[in-house]
Amino acid sequence: MSYNGWSNYETWNFALWYDGAFDDERFQYLDNAEPQYDWEDKKSRATSDFAYFLENFVDEQAEELNMDASMFSDILQANLSEINFREIANNWIEDIYDEWLETQKDKDDDSDYEEEEE
């Protein structure tokens, strides 16, 4: 069941609380992704890697709570397992992709200009 444009409540809730918290990481994952074929492939790789990063972030935060086994810890784990990290990563990468791509094209243009000067 969808919730406020996201696949479920848990995904929406994470996106709401952490929107903007990982702005630098989004650019870093795009910068560091290894493209196999083209820019779209690079975006897909960055999205997968960023989703993995977000999931690990949540797992580490949950571990730091150090909750004893209880009904509450079971509810928390069940809800955390419902977060669609791929969906969040895809949306957040998509939000910045055009801006990032322009900076890459500008870098390519600058390097072409530098080569012509030599």
- Amino acid (one-letter) located at 25: E
* Centroid of chain to Cα 56: 11
Q: Give the confidence band of 80 by pLDDT, cuts at 50, 70, 90.
A: very high
Give the pLDDT mean for 104-109.
76
Q: Is the pLDDT of residue 35 over 90?
A: no
pLDDT of residue 58: 97
Q: What is the mean pLDDT of the chain?
A: 89
Q: Which of 25-39, 50-64, 96-110 has the highest mean pLDDT?
A: 50-64
pLDDT of residue 113: 47
pLDDT of residue 34: 81
Give the pLDDT mean for 85-90.
98
State whether residue 103 is helix, strand or coil.
helix
Residue 97's alpha-carbon distances to 1, 32, 40, 48, 103, in angstroms, are 28, 14, 10, 14, 10
